[in-house]
A and B are shown apart, each in its own frame.
Chain A
Amino acid sequence: MSDAPYDLHGFRSPEAAAALVERIRALATEPIALMEVCGTHTVAISRFGLRSMLPGTVRLLSGPGCPVCVTPLVEIDRAIAAARIPGVTIATFGDMMRVPGSRSSLEAERARGADVSIVYSPAEALALAAEDSERKVVFLGVGFETTSPAIAATIVEADRRDVRNFLVLPFFKRVPPALEELARVPGRRLDGFICPGHVSVVIGAAAYEPIAHRHGIPCAVAGFEPLDILAAVAALAKQARGRSEGRPARVENLYRRAVTTRGNRRAQEVIDEVYVIGDAEWRGIGTIPGSGYAIRERYAAHDARAALDIDVPAPREPAGCICGEIMLGLKLPGDCPLFGTRCTPRDPVGPCMVSSEGSCAAFHRYERVEAVRGAMDREDR
């Protein structure tokens, strides 16, 4: 076997990690709150046990970075409505299956006979559509700027090959407007953003400049290995000290092996070709202006919203669910009255618990036992 270009094992070196933790300890003498907005970061932080290594002064918050979690209830209901139309095949990424809609879920619809397929990429959905022109294949366009270009490229391909039965439900969200919204939340101070690695590959590190300069929040673009994340925490801790000494916040790109300043031009071009920026609703947060992509008129033939009759009544969020406040960093999963009791990964109420990348699911899986034990320890003392 040939040597891989990067030996990723180096990015998990416990010695290097310990050195970074020491540096963080020295820098973070005052409490700081850092937020990541990427489901993969949420999982990586928990899976590698990074919180157990950091000093108590560093608080890591999980923001609205889970694409499934931020898909609003009305859009889930629309997907379910589409699934119920005879002749429609829903093609979706796996996590969407179990998200509860107002009265059902895609998983429940499939059990009732709807044609719902889990796919790994939009290309698979296009192949399904090409195979059977009798069925309308509706691909659920979930995700941030990481997935939007690939889906856009697939729409272009469908258009070129005249695969008319390939449709997309545009659920896309854009990260920078959400960061602006998060920066404006009153009553909660943020000392830094750990910026999403793969989104940044597409949009470039410079996309976060307004956050740093207009809102004064330090930004560090980070990859997904433990050392990537620890390095970002160290950099943000250092910037936080600088802020308290009057130095301006800035954007640091700590994922240079994948992220450039301007981003991926081809991806940006295809996004621009297929989509137009519009407002979008983020579950639990509300409408954020300019935070979504709609499909342009030119490609309307592949827009499921235009092609299908899937208007649904305005839904009501389940009582007691505080996913929105958790995604805004105002509350922790443990603060939710439903957490671990009424709302569990097996029987979830809100989206944060359904998706494996959701804050509550990650907390339940990786951190909860620690938190409970920690609480018990404190009580014993």
Chain B
Amino acid sequence: MSEDQKIKLAHGSGGRLMHELVEETIVERLANPILTELGDSAELADLVEGAAGRIAFTTDSYVVQPLFFPGGDIGKLAVAGTVNDLAVAGARPAYLSLALVIEEGFAIDDLRRVLDSVASTALEAGVSVVTGDTKVVERGAIGGLVVNTSGVGVVPEGVRVGSGLAAEGDAVIVSGTIGDHETAILIAREDLAISETIESDCAPVGGLVEAVLDACPDVHVMRDPTRGGLGTTLNEIASASNTGITIDETRIPIRREVKAICDILGFDPIYMANEGKVVVVAPAGRAGDVVAAMRAHPLGESAAVIGEVGGRRGVYLRTEVGGSRPVVMLEGVQLPRIC
């Protein structure tokens, strides 16, 4: 690959090379009126005018390795992850910032691929990237590329969800199969010779959430079970709501291949990250409507009620063989078993 096609330290220096990179490689792909101005700050007039509701604001940094994996890449993840944090807060996601920290020597073709993903995922999610930043660091510092996205949206009047709002008797619902993303990443990162291709479920879930809120405006909790998986998210809900949650292992949707791989490696899928799923806690009487709304959406085909809120504090699992055990907060990282 010619020298012109690799990122150099000069690309982050603020000079001509950086301006060319930003205009030709970044803005070209993400073009919208606000971004094209390239002001020091983006002005978001329409966010405030006539918007009845509350502004929601979130940020996340993405350091995933490998950068490209089955089902997505760091660009798709960076948009979907931040959009999803807004969506599950009940907000309609509107604008994103995009900060890139690129390692010297990174192939510009790869950068283009990532930005193409950012653009297409943003389009799918109905958001615009309106401001950003580019820095270049020395070779070897960061695994190629680190991305940060911050996102802003508006939570309409009347929508109120929160981890602390789960109530006794509520149904616990998940929008689809668990463990796909982290399993896919693990296989890709460790180059495990597995015959099945597991794809990350990485996707923006704004549309799915909208469908749920249309069907049931009074859901109590919505969360996206990312790092730490379903188990961690349920613990956070139980703790914030000061309740117990009991779930049934046989009702949790999981791909047969994901389950098998986790079994072999000694991982518990309940703690594996998901990047395109939503956990909803809703009044028991509305559970049917929520599941139906999810299943009618392409991202919610396997949606299911998996348990209920109530009982002793903490999260409990009725195992598929008929036993019972607590699901505690994950400590540290899961490691593959030795023998």
| Chain A residues in the interface with B (C-beta under 8 A) | 8, 12-14, 17-18, 39-40, 43, 46-53, 67-68, 93-95, 97-98, 118, 120, 142-144, 146-147, 198-199, 226-227, 344-346, 356-357, 364-370, 373
Instruction: State which residues 280-339 of B face A: CB under 8 Å.
Output: 312, 314, 317-326, 328, 331-332, 334-339
In the complex the two chains form, is B334's CB within 8 Å of A373's CB?
A: no
Contact: B317 with A67, CB < 8 Å? no
Q: How far is the CA of A98 from the CA of B96 in the complex (A)?
A: 38
Q: Are A43 and B266 in contact (CB under 8 A)?
A: yes
Complexed CA–CA distance, A368 and B314 (Å): 12
Assembled-state Cα–Cα distance A197/B317 (Å):
26
A48 CB contact (under 8 Å) in B319, B334, B335, B337: B319
With a CB–CB cut-off of 8 A, which chain B residues contact A356?
Answer: 266, 334-335, 337
Cβ–Cβ < 8 Å partners of A368 in chain B: 326, 328
Is A143 a contact partner of B325 (Cβ separation < 8 A)?
no
In the complex, A39 Cα to B332 Cα: how many Å? Answer: 19
* A12 lies within 8 A of B336 (CB): no
Task: Let me know if B268 is at the binding interface, CB within 8 A.
Answer: yes
**Residue A143 contacts which of B314, B317, B318, B339 (CB distance < 8 angstroms)?**
B339
Chain B window 175-195, contacts with chain A (Cβ cutoff 8 Å), 1 for yes, 0 for no: 000000000000000101000
How far apart are the CA atoms of A186 and B297 in the complex, in Å?
Answer: 64
Least distance between B107 CB and chain A CB atoms (Å): 22
- A147 & B312 in contact (Cβ 8 Å cutoff): no
Q: How far is the CB of A225 from chain B (nearest CB, A)?
A: 9
Q: Contact: B331 with A52, CB < 8 Å?
A: no
Contact partner of A68 (CB less than 8 A), chosen from B312, B331, B338, is B338
21 inter-chain pairs at a CB distance below 8 angstroms, sorted by A residue, are A12-B320, A18-B322, A39-B337, A43-B266, A47-B319, A49-B317, A49-B321, A52-B324, A67-B338, A94-B336, A95-B335, A98-B332, A120-B192, A120-B336, A146-B339, A344-B331, A345-B331, A356-B335, A356-B337, A370-B325, A373-B312
Interface residues of B in 98-127 (CB under 8 A from A): none
**Can you name 14 extra interface pairs (CB under 8 A) apart from A17-B323, A47-B319, A98-B332?**
A14-B320, A18-B322, A48-B323, A48-B325, A49-B325, A144-B339, A346-B332, A356-B337, A365-B328, A365-B331, A367-B325, A368-B326, A368-B328, A369-B314
Minimum Cβ distance to chain B for residue A68 (Å) = 7
Contact with B338, one of A14, A93, A367, A370 (Cβ below 8 angstroms): A93
A47 to B268, CA, bound (A): 9
Known contacts A17-B321, A95-B335, A120-B336; A40/B312 CB under 8 A? no
Q: Which residue of B lies closest to A68 (CB)?
A: B338
Residues of B within 8 A of A199 (CB): 339
> Which residues of A have CB within 8 Å of B338?
39, 67-68, 93, 95, 142-143, 147, 357
In the complex formed, the residue of A with least CB distance to B328 is: A365
**Residue in B closest to A13 when the chains form the complex, CB atoms:** B321
* Chain A residue contacts of B334, Cβ below 8 A: 356
Contacts across chains A and B counted by CB atoms under 8 Å: 100
Chain A min CB distance to B187 (Å)? 11
Which residues of B are found within 8 Å of A357, using beta-carbon distances? 337-338
A357 to B317, CA, bound (A): 20
Determine whether the beta carbon of B321 is less than 8 Å from that of A366.
no
Contact B328 A369 (CB under 8 A): yes
Instruction: Enumerate chain B residues within 8 angstroms of A364, measured Cβ to Cβ.
Output: 328
With A39-B338, A142-B338 in contact, is A47–B332 under 8 Å at CB? no
Q: How far is the CA of A48 from the CA of B318 in the complex (A)?
A: 9
Query: Which of B317, B334, B337 has most chain A Cβ within 10 Å?
Result: B337
Residue of A nearest to B333 (CB): A94
Q: With both chains docked as a complex, state the minimum distance between the C-beta of A319 and any C-beta of chain B, in angstroms.
A: 23
Closest to B317 in A: A49
- Cα-based distance from A272 to B314 in the complex (angstroms): 50
Chain B residues within 8 Å of A147, by CB: 338-339
- B177 to nearest A CB, angstroms? 16
User: Taking the nearest CB of chain B, how far is it from the CB of A338, in angstroms?
Assistant: 16
Q: Which residue of A lies closest to B192 (CB)?
A: A120
Q: Report whether A49 and B323 are in contact in the complex, using a CB–CB cutoff of 8 Å.
A: yes
Are B323 and A50 in contact, with the CB atoms below 8 A? yes
Residue from B320, B323, B331, B336 within 8 A of A346 (CB atoms)? B331
Q: For B317, list chain A residues within 8 Å (CB).
A: 49
Give the most central of B317, B318, B332: most A CB within 10 Å.
B332
Tell me which of A48, A95, A144, A364 has the highest count of chain B C-beta atoms within 10 A of its own C-beta: A48
What's the nearest-Cβ distance from chain A to residue B146, in Å? 19
